[in-house]
Amino acid sequence: MAIDQKTLDELKVMLLREKEELEKNLGRIAKPVNKAEGDYETSFEELGNDKDDNATEVDQYSQNLSVETSLEKQLQDILEALEKMEKGTYGKCENCNKDIPLERLQVNPSARVCLDC
């Protein structure tokens, strides 16, 4: 099943919107290391020097690191999907190479595998 150009354009718009939102959210808690590859580094905010401040800093950093890792993975999936669109390989399962159903792509445009895999 080939995806028609109109649908492909709609999916691309969805991916670009999601990419923009993820980059915005990542920018709140991390600095880009390599934005083209979706690589960010969690910021460590220094609040002070006493024990309570240090504990708060570590707690905030570990929470941000967890969020950053999740957002970064989503962003990398989107960047990969956009790259596949450019190469003409978008919509193929990475495991079995079958077409990913259009309904799945419309719900999750960065899907990498079909429902069976």
pTM of the model: 0.81
- Burial status of residue 80 (CB atoms within 10 A of its CB: 0-12, 13-18, 19 or more): middle
**62 vs 69 pLDDT, higher one:** 69
Which class is domain 5-107? mainly alpha
Q: Are 31 and 40 in contact (CB under 8 A)?
A: yes
Question: How confident is the model over 19-57, as pLDDT tens digits?
Answer: 999 999 999 888 888 878 888 888 766 655 666 656 667
Question: How confident is the model over 80-94, as pLDDT tens digits?
Answer: 999 999 999 999 999
Nearest-Å Rg of the Cα atoms of the chain is 18
| Residue boundaries of the structural domains of the chain | 5-107
Q: What's residue 41's pLDDT?
A: 82
Tokens of residue 42, six digits: 């969690």
Q: What's residue 72's pLDDT?
A: 94
How many Cβ atoms sit within 10 Å of the Cβ of residue 112? 15
* CA–CA separation, 97 and 25 (whole Å): 33
Percentage of the residues of the chain whose pLDDT score is greater than 70? 88
Q: What's residue 32's pLDDT?
A: 87
